[in-house]
Amino acid sequence: MTGPAGADKKQIARIQENLLARSERLLLNWLCARLPTWVVPDMLTAVGMLGALMVFAGYVLSNFGDEWLWCAILGYMIQWFGDSMDGSLARYRKIERPRYGYFLDHSCDGLATALVVVGIGLSSYVLLEVALIALAGYLLLSIHAFLLVRVLGEMKLSYAYAGPTELRLILIVLTLAMIAAGSEPVLLGKFTWFDLVVGSIGGMLILFFVIQTARTACRLAIDEPAPRQ
């Protein structure tokens, strides 16, 4: 289902260098071959959004008991399945709708990411202000990826050998640590260890955006040198 605008006119290079890309692709292809014909990509997109809502609800409800964090973990798995399978199924069945898929998939990705990160910030483990730094970093990298499609004809799906799947695994491990810590995480002044982890992830994402922006600008400057006066 995922496909950039204008992909029907020229081929877009998909750059996916995350650590789990190869094994994940084998798994997704295996699943695509076994899904019943009545399952369609839009249905899987809806499943992914349901998973994101479960993650959000799990974190918010964890204020009433950390057992709700298991709902968030289950939500991550469901969200991975829907988000990863919608485009994979469309490509497997050769029923892509490039502009429609690109628009809908990335719109849902943005909303799902906002639900997940804001949910983390509304839990008792991470300050909302800290979570919003991570959200800003993720959205900045998303903007960079969208711009690359326009200026270079490349769709970059991973940074520093990590993509959405690796990030979900990190967040699942973080959530398991929240369950282990209980309802009263250790404070380091005003912050918890979870604040430091989420804030560090956000800072790294913003740093990746700055570095990638500088690299792309240099590449474009070489391809399009300034005219001589």
Span 25-38, pLDDT tens digits:
899 999 999 999 99
**Contact 220/212 with Cβ under 8 angstroms?**
no
Give 182's Cβ-side CA count (13 Å radius). Answer: 3
Neighbour tally for 194: CB within 10 Å:
23
Whole-prediction pTM value? 0.85
C-alpha to C-alpha distance for 168 and 113, rounded to whole angstroms: 11
The more confident residue out of 109 and 150 is 109
Q: Smallest Cα–Cα separation from 128: which of 210, 192, 205?
A: 192
- Going from the C-alpha of 9 to that of each of 12, 46, 98, 141, the distances in angstroms are 9, 28, 10, 25
C-alpha to C-alpha distance for 112 and 45, rounded to whole angstroms: 11
Instruction: Give the least confident one: 26-30, 45-49, 96-100, 187-191.
Output: 187-191
pLDDT average, residue stretch 64-83: 95
- Going from the C-alpha of 217 to that of each of 15, 155, 221, 223, 228, the distances in angstroms are 18, 16, 6, 10, 19
Q: Which structure tokens are listed for 108?
A: 């849902």
| Residue 86 confidence (pLDDT) above 60 | yes
Looking at domain 14-221, its CATH class is mainly alpha
Angle at alpha carbon of residue 125, lines to 20 and 72, rounded to 5°: 50
Instruction: Work out whether strand 13-15 and strand 191-192 pair parallel, antiparallel, or are unpaired.
Output: unpaired
**Contact 165/84 with Cβ under 8 angstroms?**
yes
Domain residue limits, the chain = 14-221
Percent of the chain with pLDDT over 70: 86
**Contact 66/179 with Cβ under 8 angstroms?**
yes
Beta bridge pairs of residue 191:
188
Span 42-61, pLDDT tens digits: 999 999 999 999 999 999 99
C-alpha to C-alpha distance for 61 and 81, rounded to whole angstroms: 23
What count of residues does the chain have?
229
C-alpha to C-alpha distance for 214 and 217, rounded to whole angstroms: 5
In single-letter form, the type of residue at position 50 comes to L
